[in-house]
Structure 1
Amino acid sequence: MLKHQIQLTKLVKTHLRYFGSSQSRTQSFKKWYQQLWTTERTNLPPYEHFTQVGDPVLRQVAAAVPLEHVKSPEIEAVIQQMVKVLRKFDCVGIAAPQIGVSLRIIAMEFKKDIKRDLPQATFEARKMSELPLTVLINPELTITNYTKHKHPEGCMSVRGFSAEVERYEGVKLTGLDKLGTRNELELSGWNARIAQHEMDHLDGKLYIDHMDRSTFMCTCWETVNTKSGRVEIPFYK
């Protein structure tokens, strides 16, 4: 992309003399023409927002973090940003590709406060439980309970939509923490779902690849009708 931009810049400079007879018209054309094909990159990963479906980083198989870099300042910075974004958007899970970094790192956290925002019946039906902040580098997942459950699932990288997805009842996660210590975690119910969702991100997959397509919906469709379509889905917070 940079090579193409440089070539186009040279092309514009070479041929500007053919457009307009005054300096002001020349500058005006140059500014207008450059806006057609350049986007000033003032924001680079790791982002403070969630990447959205369509971004190639979400479809790549993320690279493993080399063992000699697990405790590096660079990886620490990525993890800090992941946790910051996770909490800023009040989420329960995040993978490094979701902030534009194609590395095999996930973070999960299910706060007990979430229980207050959900009906008790929903909390129990989805087998939700508190999960302290957990960060794993180069995680591996093993299925421990092959029973499947279908529940609504959303993703901050597919903002504003949800669908029902089948996930396994129980899984085991193994991986390294930011100090390089190997951890093993047994998860069940909703926390097992979070783990499977985030592991999918590391393999370039999204929940829409597994969903029951007939249940795919806009999460604010009722508000869209009530507000005569005057609804915005924010990608920032």
Structure 2
Amino acid sequence: MLHVSNPTPFSAARIRETVQEILAAGVLPPIVQAGHPVLRQQAAAFDGQLDSTELAALIALMREVMHDAPGVGLAAPQLGIPLQLAVLEDQYDVDAEISAVRGRSPLEFFAVINPAYRPVGNGSAAFYEGCLSLHGLQAVVARHESVRLDFTDPSGTARQQEFSGWQARIVQHETDHLHGILYIDRAELRSLSNNAEYGARWAHPGIDLARQELGFLPGGPAI
């Protein structure tokens, strides 16, 4: 069972001040790395700490940081902002075989506020994934193959949407960030590899070879 993170100590006023400082800096902020407390805290639910102009500016900045990294998702705590807000987008060209095996299809840009997911069905899939807050590392994580996401969009409209395959993985990864959970908390730690080793040895569509040679998920299904 995963550790339940402590709630952020930031007040609404401090969250807004932090956002205003980042927006006023005029440069892309650095992505917070593992070891910073904000990544291990329950982010505050959004309930009007920012006005609509500030929220839109923050979302635009987060999208820019995500593209610059580059990545397919970014949560506000990764910029040092303990607020339940994340942006997601996956428009990268990926090898056709990898896309087929991993169920990876393009994901149009969208922002989520106060998201929560639950599984749809009992299916799961295990693949390597990384994180912009654990620079240079990859590990295998088993996640729900399909999820239903409840969230509020930036206009304040409550929404519900189902995701499957790699899109579901991105949704789960970013939502976890808002609850102080990093992918390594769910990972097969024997699979942990730096990017160079991953690229040289394990960057296959599936994880069979890595599983056999690194000794994790013994006897599990071929994925």
With normalisation by structure 2, the TM-score equals 0.73
Residue 40 of structure 2 is aligned to residue 59 of structure 1: yes
Aligned partner of 2:71: which letter?
C
- Tell me by how many angstroms 1:49 deviates: 2.4
| Deviation of 1:77 (Å) | 2.6
Q: Confirm whether residue 89 of structure 1 aligns to residue 89 of structure 2.
A: no
1:186 deviates by 1.0
Q: For 1:220, what is the secondary structure of its paired residue?
A: helix
Q: Which amino acid aligns with 2:157?
A: T
Q: Is the 8 A contact 1:71 1:180 kept in 2?
A: no
**Percent of paired sites with the same residue:** 36
Give the Å deviation of 1:69: 4.5
Query: What is the aligned partner in structure 1 of residue 216 from structure 2?
Result: none
Instruction: Please report the RMSD computed on the Cα atoms of aligned residues, expressed in angstroms.
Output: 2.0
Task: Give the corresponding residue for 2:168.
Answer: 192
Task: Give the partner amino acid of 2:61.
Answer: Q
Tell me which residue corresponds to 2:15. Answer: none
Tell me, yes or no, if structure 1 residue 104 matches structure 2 residue 80: no
- Aligned CA distance change for structure 1 residues 222 and 173 (closer, same or farther; 3 Å): closer
| Counterpart contact for 1:172–1:184, Cα < 8 Å | yes
Does 2:56 correspond to 1:80?
Answer: no
Q: 1:174 to 1:70 in 2, by over 3 A?
A: farther
Q: Check conservation: 1:128, 1:190, Cα contact below 8 A.
A: yes
* Per-residue deviation, 1:134: 1.1
1:165 to 134, 141, 144: 141
After superposition, the Cα gap between the structure-2 partners of 1:222 and 1:129, relative to the gap in structure 1 and judged at 3 Å, is closer
For residue 179 of structure 2, the aligned residue among 188, 203, 210 is 203
Q: 1:223 to 1:196 in 2, by over 3 A?
A: closer
Q: Indicate the residue corresponding to 1:180 in structure 2.
A: 156
**Normalised TM-score (structure 1):** 0.69
Does residue 120 in structure 1 map to residue 96 in structure 2? yes
1:194-230 CA-to-partner distances (Å, cap 9, x unmatched) read 0000111001010111110110011124899xxxxxx
| One-letter code aligned to 2:35 | G
The Cα shift of 1:145 comes to 2.6
Per-residue CA deviation, residues 13-65 of structure 1 (Å, 9 max, x unaligned), is xxxxxxxxxxxxxxxxxxxxxxxxxxxxxxx6466221100111101100001
CA distance in structure 1 between the partners assigned to 2:198 and 2:51 by the alignment = 47
Alignment partners' CA distance in 2, 1:158 and 1:194:
16
Distance 1:223 1:96 in 2: 29
Structure 1's unaligned 5+ residue stretches are: 1-43, 225-237
Number of residue pairs aligned between Structure 1 and Structure 2: 176
Moved over 3 A (4+): 44-47, 68-71, 221-224
Unaligned stretches of 5+ residues in structure 2? 1-20, 201-223
Could you tell me whether the CA contact under 8 Å between 1:70 and 1:180 is conserved in 2? Answer: no
Aligned counterpart in structure 2 of residue 48 of structure 1, from 13, 19, 29: 29
Could you say which residue in structure 2 is the equivalent of 1:156? 132
